[in-house]
Structure 1
Amino acid sequence: MYEEKTYENIRDEILSKVTLTDTREGSFASDVVSPISYEMEKTYNQFDRMLGIMFLDTSAGTYIDDRGKEYGIIRKEGTYAKGEVTFTGEKDVEIPAGTLCATVGGLMFEVLQGGVIPEGGTITLPVEAQEPGDKYNVLAGSVRVLPTSIFGVTAVTNDAKMLGGSERETDAELVERILLKLQSPATSGNVYHYKLWAMNVEGVGNVKVFPLDNGPGTVTVMPITSSGRSPDEEIIQRVKEYIEEQRPIGATVTVMAPAEKMINVAASVEITTAVTAETVKEAYGKLLEEYIKSSVFKLSTVDYFKCLSMFYDIEGVVSVKTFTINGGTESISIGEKEIQVTGSIEIEGAVG
């Protein structure tokens, strides 16, 4: 808004109003006006920053937090993935609380409650990720490293997936929640009210609400995680408990996780010598993940031609020879109680 208020323009504007004395560079008038113009330029720059802070769409960081607090909306700090790991080793070896175990990639988990390996040679203990984030929701068998070895322990692994990790709410996500409260008529337990309540729960990234889903006086609430996945039972339970505290008397509420429809992609592409099939796969995976995640609860189909065309946004891809989604060449329909999730990506690349 104040882009034209530069030091030079301010100085020249002031000097243009001086008529009874010399105003050329180096004159007394010019020397007096110059430092004032410099300080005024800094002031106008601050005005620009202040205007940005005033509006949610252009604000950032703690300023958005402060706006949210005015409406009782607090930034979600993210949650820690939890699960269990099994230690294998000699009888009577102690596994103290605080013991660290990790994935090959270095994601660290801490033992919450220690124990002693019994006669059978194995003990299963609860663990929690060292940091919040959905990257800690690792698959079964991923945790198999002891950063600090324990004498008598021969192996460690997780027999089930780690669950419950979610990212800290971004500025854009927090703004979306604030605007939902301000722009949606959330009153008397209507659809917007249930969505707003569910969105306030840690780990929830978006929500779909089905009014009268099981008849009069019923509501079905379907949350997803911040990473666009179906939530685990812990998040479902938190949503149930929070809504139970807020909902009108008499409503029967069901909170359920959507079914995940995996989107599996296979392609054969012609590439240049500047890239490899692996680098193309990595780049395509990021584009597909972004498209899939942004379309959950918004689009009822995964568009075949959209997914195909993304290859041409990748440097080094000359042409796409074959391309299938879930083994076919048609768009994939998503049911009203399903969500699309990125599955396997198989890409063969040959230099043309």
Structure 2
Amino acid sequence: MYEDRTFEAMLQEMLSGVPAGTDKREGSIIYDALAPAAKKLAEAYAELARSNRLAHAQTSSGEELRLRGADFGIDPRPASAAVRLGLFYDAAGAPLDVPVESRYSAGGLNFIAAGQIGVGRFRLVCETAGAAGNVPAGTLLPLDYVDKLASAAIGDVLAAGEDEESDESFRTRFFAHVRTPPTSGNRAAYRNWALEVPGVGDAYVVPCWNGPNTVKVYVLGADRTSAGAGVVQAVKDYIDPDTGLGEGMGEGAAPAGALTTVVAAPAVNVNVTASITLSGSRTPAQVDADFGDALTSYLAGIAYGDDPRPKYARIGTMLLDTAGVADYANLLVNGGTTNVTVAEGAVAVKGTVTLT
């Protein structure tokens, strides 16, 4: 908007207003008097341009984007703590039960035993919220004395921790809310309710899937592949929990009488095989990794989009655009040369990639 309001342009405008015959060369009195004013005006216009960008959700970021969302009652999803499996053993190698709320360390992070799920098996909640809690592996070191404990290990991720919602994720939810406003339990309402749950990348809603007053919600995880069981249950508990009196009681976000089923999006594997000619700039392993990353990114970008079918031609272009690939032949996607069919509510994910 103010691209032409540069220091040079405004200084020239000021100097053009000075009477003819006056020395306006750089270093002259009039030049040295006007240059600081032109500099300050250029800075003011730059700040005006920045403020203008931050005022619109399309170009805003950070705290200003959050404030824009707050005008519509949309808050960013906070960071969530990872929940890991803890395995505990005594000196004989037998599983050992440890005290709930005992604390342990792994990978520079602290975990607390939050609950037992089996003999010697406990839910460990990371004390530091965010995706960092998903990373540690191997030995657990006790921070408190635990009687008879000889060894401990950190196991599977039971519920992935997530960092505070990114600008792009928040922007997507903001536009979904304002462009398809949720009203009286319409499809947009169910999608927005699902998106409010940490760990949800997107949702697809099917009304009357099993008769009147039934709704099915398919859920993607943050990586835009099939959501994990913990995320699916969290969405169910938020929209239509079973409080002991049954479902559809209106105890969640959904209106009373609406029976809501929440499932992970069924995954459709996209398997790619091709013969490639290398240019020599990358090794075969690097080409495999780069193409695999590009395919994953492409599939995540079309998940639950206007046309979620992976395109045969697009995959061929991606392969040819991969660094180190000079040419390819005999490209097959799921054994054929056509677009991959993706059913309602399903999501295409990277399967096997075989490049020879």
TM-score band, normalised by shorter chain: 0.7 to 0.9
Residue in structure 2 matching 1:99, options 104, 109, 114: 104
Aligned to 2:72: 71
Aligned to 2:214: 218
Q: Deviations over 1:138-185 (max 9, x none)?
A: 8xxx94345799998567463x55433344322122112112222223
Paired residues, number: 334
Q: Tell me the distance in 2 between the aligned counterparts of 1:324 and 1:222.
A: 29
Q: Is the 8 A contact 1:82 1:127 kept in 2?
A: yes
Residue 5 of structure 2 aligns to a residue whose secondary structure is coil
Q: Is the 8 A contact 1:166 1:225 kept in 2?
A: no
Residue 103 of structure 2 aligns to a residue whose secondary structure is coil
Q: Is the 8 A contact 2:97 2:120 kept in 1?
A: no
Residue 100 of structure 1 aligns to a residue whose secondary structure is strand
Structure 1 residues 23 and 213: CA distance shift in structure 2, 3 A? farther
1:207 matched to 2:203? The reply is: yes
Q: Tell me the distance in 2 between the aligned counterparts of 1:234 and 1:123.
A: 21
Q: Deviations over 1:174-213 (max 9, x none)?
A: 1121122222232111111111111111111111111222
Aligned to 1:82: 83
Aligned to 1:28: 29
| 1:294 CA drift (Å) | 0.9
Aligned to 2:244: none
Residue in structure 1 matching 2:344, options 315, 318, 336: 336
Residue 99 of structure 1 aligns to a residue whose secondary structure is strand
Which residue type is aligned with residue 144 of structure 1? Answer: G
Residue 201 of structure 2 aligns to a residue whose secondary structure is strand
Structure 1 residues 308 and 296: CA distance shift in structure 2, 3 A? same
1:133 matched to 2:131? The reply is: yes
Q: Is the 8 A contact 2:129 2:162 kept in 1?
A: no
Q: Deviations over 1:207-231 (max 9, x none)?
A: 1111222222222222211111222
Q: Deviations over 1:115-152 (max 9, x none)?
A: 9xxxxxx822222355523993x8xxx94345799998
Which residue type is aligned with residue 207 of structure 1? Answer: A
Q: Is the 8 A contact 2:87 2:120 kept in 1?
A: yes
Q: Is the 8 A contact 2:304 2:345 kept in 1?
A: no
Structure 1 residues 161 and 346: CA distance shift in structure 2, 3 A? farther
Q: Is the 8 A contact 2:2 2:45 kept in 1?
A: yes
Aligned to 1:118: none
Residue in structure 2 matching 1:168, options 164, 167, 172: 164
Q: Tell me the distance in 2 between the aligned counterparts of 1:268 and 1:100.
A: 47
Q: Is the 8 A contact 2:97 2:121 kept in 1?
A: no
Which residue type is aligned with residue 223 of structure 2? Answer: S
Q: Deviations over 1:45-91 (max 9, x none)?
A: 11111111111111111110111112221111343332323244514
Q: Tell me the distance in 2 between the aligned counterparts of 1:23 and 1:333.
A: 75
| 1:101 CA drift (Å) | 4.0
**TM-score when normalising by structure 1:** 0.83
Q: Say what the alpha-carbon RMSD is for the aligned residues.
A: 3.2
Structure 1 residues 87 and 267: CA distance shift in structure 2, 3 A? farther
Q: Tell me the distance in 1 between the aligned counterparts of 2:121 and 2:236.
A: 29
Q: Is the 8 A contact 1:100 1:148 kept in 2?
A: yes
1:144 matched to 2:138? The reply is: yes
| 1:111 CA drift (Å) | 4.8
Aligned to 2:47: 46
| 1:281 CA drift (Å) | 1.2
1:233 matched to 2:229? The reply is: yes
Q: Deviations over 1:261-284 (max 9, x none)?
A: 222333332113321011111111
Q: Tell me the distance in 2 between the aligned counterparts of 1:127 and 1:328.
A: 45
Q: Tell me the distance in 1 between the aligned counterparts of 2:354 and 2:216.
A: 37
Q: Tell me the distance in 2 between the aligned counterparts of 1:155 and 1:202.
A: 29
Q: Is the 8 A contact 2:214 2:258 kept in 1?
A: yes
Q: Tell me the distance in 2 between the aligned counterparts of 1:40 and 1:265.
A: 57
Q: Is the 8 A contact 1:134 1:227 kept in 2?
A: no
Aligned to 1:292: 299
Structure 1 residues 183 and 329: CA distance shift in structure 2, 3 A? closer
Superposed, 1:171-320 pairs within 5 Å as: 171-244=167-240, 245-298=252-305, 299-320=307-328
Q: Tell me the distance in 1 between the aligned counterparts of 2:327 and 2:230.
A: 45
| 1:94 CA drift (Å) | 8.8
Q: Tell me the distance in 1 between the aligned counterparts of 2:35 and 2:133.
A: 54
Q: Tell me the distance in 2 between the aligned counterparts of 1:284 and 1:190.
A: 40
Residue 264 of structure 2 aligns to a residue whose secondary structure is coil
**TM-score when normalising by structure 2:** 0.82
